[in-house]
Chain A
Amino acid sequence: MSKVHGNHGNCKETGLCPIVTFPEVVNIDEIRDEIPEVKTFYLSFPNKDVEREFRIKSGQFIMCTVFGAGEFAVSLPPSPENDRFHISVRAVGKVTHALHALKPGDKLGVRGPFGNGFPFDEIKGKNIIYVAGGIGLIPLRSSIVHALQHREDFGRIILLYGARSSKDLMYQPDIREWQQNAGFETFITIDRPEEGWSGEVGYVNQLIEKANVPVDNSVAFVCGPPVMFNSVIGEFLKRGMSEDAIISTLERQMKCGIGKCQHCAVGRTLVCTDGPVYTYRQIKTLGEQI
């Protein structure tokens, strides 16, 4: 019984202090409609000590309690530095619908942050290609903002983003703001032509060609539905991208977030502690479906 984690014990591995067992109360400060069925919730900790200690890495997630309904896993879209604490959630089932019914001022419970997060230091000096489909942009947002906050550390930064229709594009004000950054390249597509849409039409994998993405000295972060994921990976591999340079996140049913309940087991790893971020090479050896 060497490493004792209470609620705010020391975690040797990350140097951060996750909230492990007993949820910490957060306040919903503001709710914004993002796209149909998806809302963004801006949160803050009434307990300022906790707020100070609550530090995250891009790609991590929290376990969020909707009081009376239950707990669910949700990605952290804010950048680790200078960003508002928020989550973006699609209403799909019992808990997420209950969340959507809440109003500003309502409270939630939070445990975490959990998970390994995206590598940040290792990719310095490289080109970054973000590829997202639909709400796959949620887990990537943190990394995009963080990379732009350190723009000088990277080569080209490209976002390839696709959604079913223009109404389904996440974080549109954010995207417009990012586009103000010098050297932030965005390619956005929707599945079918639409009145008033002058941008690309088609699937995201077709954007790879358009953007003329560099494969050498590059990393790609890919998040989206399985069909998109598979076609995009195929395209990257065809272009000779290394399997280690393609990075994604896996989603599994999660109950504890701390590697104990085993609901999130994939192959031989647990997504909550070993993931959710994996390289494509790792994903391939997991021996299970994405």
Chain B
Amino acid sequence: MSMSMYILSSGEISALVTELQASYDVYGPQVEPQTKQVFFDQLATPAALDLEAPIPSMPVKEILFPQMERILKYKYDAENQSVAMSKQYFERPKALFGLRPCDLSGILVLDRFFLGQEFVDDVYLTHRRQCLLISNTCLHPFPQCFCVCTHSGPDADEGFDLDLTKLQDGYLLRVGSEKGQAIADAHQWQVATPRHAKEFKAVVDRSIDLFPEMATDNKAWVAKVMNRITTGFVKQETWEYIGDQCFECGACSFVCPTCSCFNIEDTQTACGECERLRMRDSCSFEGYARMAGDHNPRQPVEDRRNKRFFCKLSYPQSKKYLRPGCVGCGRCQWVCPGDIGLPNVVQYIRREITGGQN
């Protein structure tokens, strides 16, 4: 499909949000006033949307794959030996307005994982089915971003319905799907000119230039490190060094836009009912891969960390995701008390490859 492009004023953006709120729950980046922390949360009003806010502190996957949700409720009547069950996850049209390209890529990875393998995950599908994805180009990187190394930014190139980029004249709106086109067709937006297309390219190039040298420099290394991890040539000492620094908090998995692991547990509610909860899980935990029986295949913590980096940076995993498992958002670096976020691990393995140089 050839891509239509339009130029929208800020007023038109607000109007679009208002309009979408009629038929969707609209989520977007906003700044928490007291702490200045950015969340991608439901918008109380269009005015709360802040398209210039830095990358949200929590990944947007929270909306499609929440930290904890109830998927089933049932009540067992022991006397009559009967059970009443009901599904607890429901479909709601959602517009995700102003996704950073890394978070968009994260959603694509989750799509391919939850929907594209042998089975379709019904819970994820239900949350995902009626989603409108509107991405937002990063005009400059935020601290710790390295999407340039993982092919996921600073601009989006696939998967969006609509995509925004702030230019001189307003927001460039690129259409990425039929659903997006239908929305565009319903408006009299000003069609963008080739000059705008050129400006868009320049804006993206400038943004790439603004990435710290470390990030751009790492680009080639990410590929080399993937190679090492895939072939299993990373030295045991390096994994031990990494494992010693893991505090087993699970944060890296909770904030990673592409981590999909979950746990399921049935719990009793006060009134004799039971809920089946589904909550995020992390391969950093000792109990995550406990086998029935008495030994744990991933007991030493360094092996568990090795599992994580295999998941994020290896070819077999990329085959599942059709891209690297890491989308370069840098969040794991923020939240890791042990200082072994993915960029650091790339550094460690890189140091191993170069024999300590760099």
Contact = CB atoms under 8 A, between A and B. Distances in A.
Contacts of A6: 122
20 contacts: A3-B120, A22-B72, A22-B122, A25-B83, A65-B266, A67-B76, A68-B268, A70-B266, A71-B266, A107-B83, A252-B289, A255-B262, A258-B119, A259-B117, A260-B113, A260-B114, A260-B119, A261-B264, A266-B297, A288-B298
B14 interface: no
Interface string B257-287: 0001111111010000010100001010000
A188 B76 CA distance: 42
Contacts of B115: 1
Given A23-B85, A107-B83, A252 B291 contact: yes
A70 B291 contact: no
Interface residues of B, number: 51
A45 to B, nearest CB: 13
Contacts of A1: 111, 115, 120, 125, 128-129
B264 A106 contact: no
Nearest to B316: A268
B123 A68 contact: no
Interface in A248-289: 251-253, 255-256, 258-266, 268, 273, 287-289
Interface string B191-232: 000000000000000000000000000000000000000001
Given A107-B82, A263-B261, A263-B281, A67 B274 contact: yes
A-B complex: 3 closest residue pairs judged by Cβ atoms = A67-B76, A258-B119, A21-B122
A211 interface: no
Q: Is the interface of A mostly helix, strand, loop or mixed?
A: loop
A92 B129 CA distance: 40
Contacts of A73: 292
B316 A273 contact: no
Interface in A236-256: 251-253, 255-256
Nearest to A24: B85
Contacts of A273: 117-119
Contacts of B290: 253
Interface string B318-342: 0000000000000000000000000
A70 B283 contact: no
Interface string A97-129: 000000101110100000000000000000000
A20 B119 contact: yes
A21 B116 CA distance: 16
